[in-house]
Structure 1
């Protein structure tokens, strides 16, 4: 199939097939938006939401492919990357634009993940989780190219069965999934280092104010922090709880 613009022999301007397909897509969306889902059956809503999820992933894949190949836009506009043009022309915040450009470049390195997004079986959020996990694998000096390829295969497969948050948890220890014997010990050491670093960063300080109150400043682990917050909430609001128990509204 030729990618060259089709020539309209009636004497009008050449027709770009990509523009024509995008115009058809825009027209279809306009037609769909003119319909009221309130009149659809429940089964229709479920089916159409599923299909739109797939379409959304495919649309994201197309956009990311364009962004990955949009270095010429940056050159033309003198920007560091295409995010500069996105800011001025599309009013996309620079931080968001740069994140999208970075994601596009990262995804382009991973064929299976990119294909999963293009097929609609991997959402954009999951594709982002996969690329971050794979970049961490690439940065691991103990991981080989074969480990990277297998990790990508596993993550794409998991993406069809897990939420993005669950996939993120799997991604953090994907090398253990790749080769338990080699990487379990390394993971244990990494967790130990993380705990030791966390312990070094924790502290607890208190200062009496001389008016019956004490200021507290602390940094603790997340688990300890949640327990401490619950305890302090119950201790710091006895008057409020007592008043409300008597059926009156406590002053703010």
Structure 2
């Protein structure tokens, strides 16, 4: 039958994944870094995904397609939720205000030294002699202030906690030349992350965002938080997403 249905231009798609979360029927997935309509029967043709595409890669066309199957959509959504819930826990509800007066949460920029004395090197470098590339403190997303001066004109790295432990050269390949914030999407409140990141984007000129996540499913929460924060803030910046395997290798 001929009906209205989504068409995705792979050449225009930048792989941001915003359409994936916008599609309530779960008809779109990211495959090899591109949005793909996985089956005609899941697409109702209403175009909920259109306004979320920053590159206008999605349009509604008329073509011969299988009829929309609401029962199949409901089964798919139930199965997806069951898979996501398997072994997962509810995010911990943590107080969203920070205690006042703690010197450990004071925002500060870390100045880098051009040369290090042998005495300092033994403390500030790892066994291979690589210096720390951290440019600011604190790093926990819950502790940083959205108006901290180091955020302005920054290349922002948003990393899941485990990434720096899994990937050996994390300082050299990720933290270097970036302002770094970290968090755990499994143990923390992703809605809080979304709101905090949106505040950072609205209050500062961010040059780019790199998201470093682990390959485990629960780590998808930090990706979702960043993408929805960009939508909430109305700020779209150059975006890069890197997945690190539990074996320490970069997956994509």
Select the structure that is richer in strand. 2
Highest relative contact order (Cα 8 Å, sep 6+), 1 or 2? 2
Select the structure that is richer in helix. 1
Under TM normalisation by the shorter chain, which class is it?
under 0.3
| Structure (1 or 2) with the larger CA radius of gyration | 1
Q: TM-score, normalised by structure 1?
A: 0.22
Q: TM-score, normalised by structure 2?
A: 0.22
